[in-house]
Amino acid sequence: MALLDSLFGKKKKEFKASCQITKEPIEKGFGYLLTTAQVVTSKKYWDMIMTEPETLSYTVSHFKNQASGTQMRSMIFDKYATIAKAWIISDSIINYFDVDKTTAREHAKKWWASEGSFTPENIGPAEQVLEATEYTHLKDYAILEAGRSRVAI
């Protein structure tokens, strides 16, 4: 019977992950686990997001004082700032964030061991975790200033 179970039994699907920013695969046990608040407080992150090929036209429109560009940047900010779960991040992008890498790596190992169910402290949408003034400041940067130095107007 054990032989039949091993031949015809359902195999458990292997737990895999990819970086939520770069989309590159992350090997089991590697990467860093960050909260949404840790991600969205990075100016480097917002400069990158607002100048990606998919968002660059909105950034150019925004800096040409077109309301539609600013509105789209606001929607992009909300899309990322409202993520309630932890972010698994690759080695190639971790330097965009001012975080304790040792702790973020330890959290990632716990996340892998629990197959994605481990959650660090201060998890949830950024607005619920950050102080109101800090949240407003970073929202203003992301929407109004991010990417300015990377676009020629």
Residue 25, domain member (yes or no): yes
Range of the domain at 106: 17-147
- DSSP secondary structure code for residue 48 in this structure: H
Kindly report the pTM of this predicted structure: 0.87
Could you read off the pLDDT of 88-123 as tens digits, one per residue?
999 999 999 999 999 999 999 999 999 999 999 999
Residue 2, domain member (yes or no): no
Q: How many domains does the chain have?
A: 1
Residue 11, domain member (yes or no): no
Cα–Cα distances in angstroms (integers) from residue 45 to residues 3, 116, 145, in the given order: 52, 23, 12
Residue 74, domain member (yes or no): yes
Residue 48, domain member (yes or no): yes
Could you read off the pLDDT of 36-74 as tens digits, one per residue?
999 999 999 999 999 999 999 999 999 999 999 999 999
Residue 93, domain member (yes or no): yes
Name the H helices within the chain: 2-8, 36-40, 43-49, 56-63, 67-81, 101-113, 126-129, 132-140
pLDDT at 8: 57
pLDDT greater than 70 at residue 12: no
Confidence of residue 2 (pLDDT cuts 50, 70, 90): low
CA distance 116 to 94: 19
Burial class (CB in 10 A: 0-12, 13-18, 19+), 121: exposed
